[in-house]
Amino acid sequence: MKIGLVGLGRMGGNIARRLMQAGHQVVAWDRSDEAVQALAKDGAEAATGLQDMATKLANKAVWWVMLPAGAPTEDTIAEIAKLAKDGDVVIDGGNSFYKDDIRRAKMLAEQGIHYVDVGTSGGVWGLERGYCMMIGGDKETVDHLDPIFDALAPGLGDIVRTPGRVADKVDARAEKGYIHAGPAGAGHFVKMIHNGIEYGLMQAYAEGFDILKSKNSDKLPEDERFDLNLTDIAEVWRRGSVISSWLLDLTAIALAKDEMLEQFSGHVADSGEGQWTIDAAMEEKVPANVLTASLFARYRSRIEHTYGDKVLSAMRFGFGGHTEIPQ
Amino acid sequence: MKIGLVGLGRMGGNIARRLMQAGHQVVAWDRSDEAVQALAKDGAEAATGLQDMATKLANKAVWWVMLPAGAPTEDTIAEIAKLAKDGDVVIDGGNSFYKDDIRRAKMLAEQGIHYVDVGTSGGVWGLERGYCMMIGGDKETVDHLDPIFDALAPGLGDIVRTPGRVADKVDARAEKGYIHAGPAGAGHFVKMIHNGIEYGLMQAYAEGFDILKSKNSDKLPEDERFDLNLTDIAEVWRRGSVISSWLLDLTAIALAKDEMLEQFSGHVADSGEGQWTIDAAMEEKVPANVLTASLFARYRSRIEHTYGDKVLSAMRFGFGGHTEIPQ
Amino acid sequence: MKIGLVGLGRMGGNIARRLMQAGHQVVAWDRSDEAVQALAKDGAEAATGLQDMATKLANKAVWWVMLPAGAPTEDTIAEIAKLAKDGDVVIDGGNSFYKDDIRRAKMLAEQGIHYVDVGTSGGVWGLERGYCMMIGGDKETVDHLDPIFDALAPGLGDIVRTPGRVADKVDARAEKGYIHAGPAGAGHFVKMIHNGIEYGLMQAYAEGFDILKSKNSDKLPEDERFDLNLTDIAEVWRRGSVISSWLLDLTAIALAKDEMLEQFSGHVADSGEGQWTIDAAMEEKVPANVLTASLFARYRSRIEHTYGDKVLSAMRFGFGGHTEIPQ
Amino acid sequence: MKIGLVGLGRMGGNIARRLMQAGHQVVAWDRSDEAVQALAKDGAEAATGLQDMATKLANKAVWWVMLPAGAPTEDTIAEIAKLAKDGDVVIDGGNSFYKDDIRRAKMLAEQGIHYVDVGTSGGVWGLERGYCMMIGGDKETVDHLDPIFDALAPGLGDIVRTPGRVADKVDARAEKGYIHAGPAGAGHFVKMIHNGIEYGLMQAYAEGFDILKSKNSDKLPEDERFDLNLTDIAEVWRRGSVISSWLLDLTAIALAKDEMLEQFSGHVADSGEGQWTIDAAMEEKVPANVLTASLFARYRSRIEHTYGDKVLSAMRFGFGGHTEIPQ
């Protein structure tokens, strides 16, 4: 198929390359001319802008937008909407909020344009490993785009197959690494929850390694300390333990390089998905203590001292509880 | 009654004074001679040591130990055990762990000595307001000591009486500010949970004021900010709102003095009770998310950057999630 | 002043009564004719509808809307907007989301109508104790309405005054139980955080009493149990302890009536403010573990078994960890 | 080597089998004669009791105790201590609390007996996949036992090797699936934290799947619902996503079998390690909100209604907050 790729950052560029490796044609544009030229060298057709891309794409054009969520994606899709024709497909492959997808899909449907949202996991490893994709949109359109998704996905590979999957109850595409999750928005919704879970998993490991490391802290009596080798612990857990995972693999790599992790400041960023996951939990009235605590740990990591902590001290000062004997 | 008071810090000294104001006799000792002399000036009989105190106390001596929990209390009670006689009473008025009470009560009982644990709330305000006391020990002994507790307690005062209390189901002493909670250990157990709750209440206010203050943060778009007067907010909540409390009164006082609370570093200490409360919850298999989060917020306040946060960053670096587009 | 009161439920009716007791005139309307007649008997001027109320209110009319947040308030204000004239004031005294206030204030300002949002705490006790109010709106309008707020507020009463309040830094109204918190929306924002804190305080007590009660659970070895009198514990904590509060007073009343609290199912409702408080915390990137855990505890109280719990069991079954020996 | 295996449950039996498959000799005993005979059929030497086992084991006997933690392990080791000789080794392969290891190691050292604690992960899959082991004890003894651990471990297998491991900084055994973590107790300490992390990981997935499932809940407006296929979602996440893991593999298997997970009641058990992990965190003053929330979620899963929830309702009833309009 012929795909117009808008946004050639690390993710967009690699997606274009993986598509071309599978024999698809890519028309590429990015506001950075350098990025466009780099991809043209790898075989893409360079566009000079969205207008030019509209010309270069055949009828029933497929536009893949791969930009940061929020204004960049919103504005670009609005612009494409002016150029796109009845029967075109607009794919948002970024990290958009799923309610924006629902809104945009409705808006574009009025023009006869199909909207598909693709949540993508796999990070910078995707070019090599393939992208795990969660897709939202109407069935006909998603089926029509199957050759694209099939090319991007990891495929069956050598991952052990899950026993017990019954062909007529499940989506065969799941084993190849992509699913049609539901109508527009469902792709990003599932990806959002994926990231929410990711925060929780990461924080579970983080707390565990913290407790291991602090077992040698001078807060403990000397004869209760252990000086543990965290690098080896991460490694051994990769091998037959219940908590083996890809995130643990990454941790083992990082620790092997520098067990003290000194290159990292301790300030941890968060993208929108963690927060949106909690919003979804609250809308559904589902308790989500672990996912929320994970998000809050990141907020806290970026604050030196909270005002709240000072309020605590002020109260303690007030009732005299900071003295040695009971309050 | 005649009471031997061991430990004349801020709490011990004030307790002695309140006892003497009510007509009780106090024999006082502290390892600081200065503290002993100060109290002697206020009417106490100065002892030169525990041995001397044993001599000065009548038969059926009452020893009130008011020392920091742990070794100071443990060692002192062990020493008193050598001097005390059958029928004596040893009171631990500090913040001991209730399982230590149970153990010590058993040990002393073998010598015919009664053990009473008194958990005390009210802080430095107790001399004036009276002490709220939770008492553990055998009934006969606690009843025998009633004149002491009655003198220390706030009494009915002008606090509105709880409607519906039925005389034959409740302990009349509760309205005067003290209760016989149960056998040895029960006093400190109830006081321990009191402190656990205290942590939770304090953290609830702390988080609330943090969100109020951060409503003016530059993390928000300018037109979504409010510059709120926290001093007035604390004050107004004292007056008819559902969340009025003594801790809020203290907050209002602190904010009136300095809304920025600049004298406080943001490092918040914790005493043992918070931790013991969580231990008790876990032993009983009771979920206690709020009390635990309150304790952990204090731990976190004293750490600049956690190792766990660096582990998070290392993983993010590993999967490339720290770039602008999806992971 | 003359006030049009729309919504004569428990809160609206009592507000009207307290206003009339202070000499204000009230024009009253409710979709329940019975409620209107009841208030007319107490001295209010009965209106037959909003149109009639518009006629009965003088120029510069003051409309006080006291309805459930969401559609009832939204629709009523929209209808009033059609009837109101330049210079009128619309007060939303319910529990609206503060962003709705901001939006409505902008909309009404275009017609020259002033919008004031009043967050009110004090519950059904307000008629007697007075209402604690947090007010948002433009200064001139809020100052103009001062006689109304002054009548509704508790006033100085016999609550001890906060030492150290400096007249020129603080709002004198705070001591009387109401504040002008800021522009439109600020009143409900402060009230919203108030409720968020309330959830946290309540949960702290709830967990504490749970641990006290479960100290007699058969999950503990028999010699580690205490059979504690929770009624007396609540009572004694009211008297001089650090955790005394109005919520504790209410707890003491409930326990005095029935320590087992058998009339309550254990399902706990939540209104919108808890959720909105967490939203605000996330927008500001403020960690709020305690307030969130409090909200989630309520969600959890209304679910018999979560699907998540079954997922846990399914994993445990998968790795065989449910057997007696290590996983 | 010749190993005496005490406790032939699912774990003990499989360990014995894997040892024999590697050419080691096993003397086996269990209080169930049936279990002993089953293993004898597979090649083990049956013992009639610990005394008999002592006779059958050569000098420098190796005793592997594979029993539930607590009394069964404690009592058995005490009995072995009476039979063991200077130079013998006692291995505790169960899930003991690490402080019990430290105590027992000291006690046995006085008799010249070496104590080794082995934390084992891998569950019922270990016979086939090999056991991931974390070992505590003195270096000489652990090195001496290497043939045993080497036989039980998974070995390098086809798991991708971690890049960057520097031979002289790391323990080569880690890549084969076992480590010498430190002195006695260190093995079980690391295993304990492993389980603490496991709870956190599991709860992160549980909450995520709960939010996915509840996206179809009737608590949401109809046009905001998605009816998601959780079976396919679990499957697709196994393939190239950031959150792929063995626990997710197990989840995918369970969902493929029955997406509703109807065979599970929703009551989730917990073994001691979760609680001990929180104890360790508190001793070290390390915040561990996620691991704690995971543990508490399990407690909560086993309670129908908490008393705390009723306390909340009682307060709400008290202030009238259960009515439709503001509190």
Instruction: Give me the mean pLDDT over the C9-27 stretch.
Output: 95
Q: Considering only alpha carbons, which residue of chain B is nearest residue C256?
A: B165
Contact at 8 Å (CB) between B253 and D263? no
Contact at 8 Å (CB) between B6 and B68? no
Q: Is C120 on the interface with D (CB under 8 A)?
A: yes
Task: Dump pLDDT digits (tens) for B205-214.
Answer: 999 999 999 9
Task: Dump pLDDT digits (tens) for A3-13.
Answer: 999 999 989 99
In angstroms, the separation between the Cα of residue B163 and the nearest Cα of chain D is: 12
pLDDT of residue A128: 82
Cα distance between residue B292 and residue C292, in whole Å? 13
Averaged pLDDT of chain C: 94
Nearest to A279 by CA among A202, A192, A203: A192
Write the burial class of residue B95 (CB in 10 Å: 0-12 exposed, 13-18 middle, 19+ buried).
Answer: buried
Cα distance between residue A246 and residue D241, in whole Å? 9
Q: Which residues of B touch D204 (CB under 8 A)?
A: none
Angstrom CA distances, C15 to C51, C152, C298, stand at: 22, 7, 30
Q: Which residues of A touch D204 (CB under 8 A)?
A: 197, 199-201, 203-204, 290-291, 294
Task: Dump pLDDT digits (tens) for D202-230.
Answer: 999 999 999 999 999 999 999 999 999 99
> Which residues of C are marked as active site?
191, 198
Q: Is A261 left (phi over 0), alpha (psi -120 to 50) or beta?
A: left
Q: Which residues of A touch B123 (CB under 8 A)?
A: 319-321, 326-327
pLDDT of residue D226: 98
Domain annotation for chain D: domains and CATH numbers: 2-184 (3.40.50.720), 191-307 (1.10.1040.10)
Q: Is C103 on the interface with B (CB under 8 A)?
A: no
Helix pair D289-301, C289-301: axis angle to 10 deg: 20
Name the pTM for this structure: 0.95
Q: Is A179 on the interface with D (CB under 8 A)?
A: yes
In angstroms, the separation between the Cα of residue A313 and the nearest Cα of chain B is: 6
Place of tokens 């950075």: A32
Which of A191, A253, A318 has the CB atom closest to B318's CB atom? A253
A198 contacts B325? CB cut-off 8 A: no
Cα distance between residue C81 and residue A26, in whole Å? 55
Contact at 8 Å (CB) between A80 and A111? no
* String of DSSP letters for C269-322: ---HHHHHHHHHHHHHT---HHHHHHHHHHHHHT-SS-HHHHHHHHHHHHHTTT
Pairing of strands B25-29, B114-121: unpaired
Angstrom CA distances, C156 to A7, B87, C22, C149, stand at: 63, 53, 16, 13
pLDDT of residue B325: 34
Q: Which helix (H) or strand (E) holds D134?
A: strand D132-136
Cα distance between residue B225 and residue A160, in whole Å? 52
pLDDT of residue C125: 77
Task: Dump pLDDT digits (tens) for D139-176.
Answer: 999 999 999 999 999 999 989 999 988 887 888 999 99
pLDDT of residue C110: 97
Question: Pick the catalytic residue: D74, D79, D198, D235?
Answer: D198
Q: Report helix, strand or coil for A100.
A: helix
Q: Report helix, strand or coil for D45.
A: strand
pLDDT of residue C326: 36
Identify any residues that bridge with D324 across adjacent strands, giving them in sequence order.
Answer: none
In the structure, what pLDDT confidence band is assigned to residue C166 with cuts at 50, 70 and 90?
confident
Cα distance between residue C306 and residue D214, in whole Å? 10
Cα distance between residue D237 and residue D248, in whole Å? 8
**Which of the residues D120, D128, D207 would you substitute to probe the A interface, choosing the one with the greatest number of A C-beta atoms within 10 Å?**
D207
The H-assigned helical ranges of C22-69 are 33-41, 50-56
Which of A122, A176, A229 has the CB atom closest to D241's CB atom? A122
Q: Does the structure show a pLDDT above 70 at A101? A: yes
Contact at 8 Å (CB) between D142 and D116? yes
- Tens of pLDDT along chain B (327 residues) come to 999 999 999 899 999 999 999 999 999 999 999 999 999 999 999 999 999 999 999 889 999 999 999 999 999 999 999 999 999 999 999 999 999 999 999 999 999 999 999 999 877 778 888 999 999 999 999 999 999 999 999 999 989 999 988 887 888 999 999 999 999 999 999 999 999 999 999 999 999 999 999 999 999 999 999 999 999 999 999 999 999 999 999 999 999 999 999 999 999 999 899 999 999 999 999 999 999 999 999 999 999 999 999 999 999 988 874 432 333
Contact at 8 Å (CB) between B17 and B5? no
Q: Considering only alpha carbons, which residue of chain D is nearest residue B297?
A: D287
Instruction: Give me the mean pLDDT over the D9-21 stretch.
Output: 94
**What DSSP character marks residue C133?**
E
pLDDT of residue D51: 97
In the structure, what pLDDT confidence band is assigned to residue A169 with cuts at 50, 70 and 90?
confident
Cα distance between residue B273 and residue B299, in whole Å? 14
Pairing of strands B114-121, B132-136: antiparallel
Q: Does the structure show a pLDDT above 90 at C59? A: no
Which of D166, D207, D236 has the CB atom closest to A288's CB atom? D207
Active-site residue, B191 included: yes
**Residues of chain D numbered 5-64 and touching chain C (CB < 8 Å):** 7, 9-12
Q: Is A190 on the interface with D (CB under 8 A)?
A: yes
pLDDT of residue D134: 98
pLDDT of residue A323: 37
Q: Which residues of A touch D288 (CB under 8 A)?
A: 207, 210-211
Residue type, B200: G
Nearest to B159 by CA among D31, D219, C159, D215: C159
Contact at 8 Å (CB) between C311 and D209? yes
In angstroms, the separation between the Cα of residue C157 and the nearest Cα of chain D is: 20
Contact at 8 Å (CB) between A3 and A64? yes
A247 contacts B124? CB cut-off 8 A: no
Angstrom CA distances, B223 to B10, B206, B216, C142, D322, stand at: 50, 25, 10, 21, 34
In the structure, what pLDDT confidence band is assigned to residue C129 with cuts at 50, 70 and 90?
confident
Q: Which residues of A touch B310 (CB under 8 A)?
A: 261, 264-266
Q: Is the dihedral of CA B234, B236, B239, B243 positive or negative?
A: negative
* String of DSSP letters for D47-90: -SSHHHHHHHS-SS-EEEE---TTHHHHHHHHHHHHH--TT-EE
Task: Dump pLDDT digits (tens) for A242-273.
Answer: 999 999 999 999 999 999 999 999 999 998 99
Q: Is D240 on the interface with A (CB under 8 A)?
A: yes
Contact at 8 Å (CB) between B219 and C285? yes
Q: Which residues of A touch D286 (CB under 8 A)?
A: 207, 210-211, 214
Contact at 8 Å (CB) between A200 and D290? yes
Q: Is A287 on the interface with B (CB under 8 A)?
A: no
In the structure, what pLDDT confidence band is assigned to residue D326 with cuts at 50, 70 and 90?
very low
Nearest to C125 by CA among C14, C202, C224, C24: C14
The ipTM of this complex is 0.95
pLDDT of residue D321: 47
Identify any residues that bridge with D115 across adjacent strands, giving them in sequence order.
Answer: D90
A with D: how many residue pairs have Cβ under 8 Å apart? 350
Identify any residues that bridge with C4 across adjacent strands, giving them in sequence order.
Answer: C27, C63
Q: Which residues of B touch A298 (CB under 8 A)?
A: 309, 312
Strands (E) located in chain A: 2-6, 25-29, 45-46, 62-65, 89-92, 114-121, 132-136, 178-182
* Token pair belonging to C83: 């009837």
Pairing of strands C89-92, D2-6: unpaired
Residue C107 burial (CB count, 10 A): 14
D269 contacts C124? CB cut-off 8 A: no
Q: In this predicted model, which residue has the larger pLDDT, D49 or B319?
A: D49
* Token pair belonging to D113: 């007996």
Q: Is B210 on the interface with A (CB under 8 A)?
A: yes
**Which of the residues D310, D316, D317, D322 would you substitute to probe the C interface, choosing the one with the greatest number of C C-beta atoms within 10 Å?**
D310
Which of D219, D242, D288 has the CB atom closest to A284's CB atom? D219
Task: Dump pLDDT digits (tens) for D253-303.
Answer: 999 999 999 999 999 999 899 999 999 999 999 999 999 999 999 999 999
Q: Going by C-beta distance under 8 Å and a sequence separation of 6 or more, which residues neighbour residue D41?
A: none
pLDDT of residue A326: 36
Q: Does the structure show a pLDDT above 90 at A279? A: yes
Q: Which residues of A touch C302 (CB under 8 A)?
A: 285
pLDDT of residue A321: 47
Q: Which helix (H) or strand (E) holds C2?
A: strand C2-6
Helix pair B186-213, A307-319: axis angle to 10 deg: 140
φ/ψ of A33, rounded to 5, equals -65, -35
Q: Is A128 on the interface with D (CB under 8 A)?
A: no
C131 contacts B237? CB cut-off 8 A: no
Q: Is A232 on the interface with D (CB under 8 A)?
A: yes
Averaged pLDDT of chain D: 94
Identify any residues that bridge with B65 across adjacent strands, giving them in sequence order.
Answer: B6, B92
Q: Report helix, strand or coil for C119.
A: strand
